Amino acid sequence: MFRYIGGVSCALALIGTILAAPSSVSAEDPVVNADTIAYQLAPKRGLKITAAEPTSINLPDVTFEFNSAQLTPTAKKQLAEVGKALSMSAFKDSKFVIAGHTDAVGTAEYNQQLSKLRAEAAVSFLVREHGMDASRLSATGRGESKLLPQISEDSGANRRVEILNLGTE
């Protein structure tokens, strides 16, 4: 027997809580799915997203070969999920920043330029392959300024993309 609170049983509320946070990966498919991306980019607890306080998701599967801005096959698969998420009606008026990152091999200036090219490659893919409105997306390079914690500075995992939801204007 369940106790009813406001017309909704505790059991249903618990099930809703469990289902609200989608799983990010499966054993067969290492990329983050569109529902998880949307969940991470959505406003939390009814808060309004602003450019000063964006929501974001780091996507380690949008990777690049060493010294390259060419998207890997895994990156394209991950960006396909990003395209699905950003096309959801909940985000129809939102603007996004696609931030490219590099490892720490090379000069800071070179890495800054390379990370910008990586972000531009991701934006181009989303516009070309998923019909995203280019005016909703901007590319920025972060270079080696935000290396992933607890891994080697030259690790390929640092060659990645981050998506930031700036909200609506």
User: Which domains does the chain show, CATH number per domain?
Assistant: 29-167 (3.30.1330.60)
Q: pTM to 2 decimals?
A: 0.76
Q: How many CA atoms lie within 13 A of 8 on its CB side?
A: 8
The mean per-residue pLDDT over the stretch 102-128 comes to: 94
Q: What is the pLDDT of residue 65?
A: 77
More confident residue, 82 or 147: 82
Exposure of 18 by Cβ count < 10 A (0-12 exposed, 13-18 middle, 19+ buried)? exposed
Choice between 53 and 47, residue whose per-residue pLDDT is larger = 53
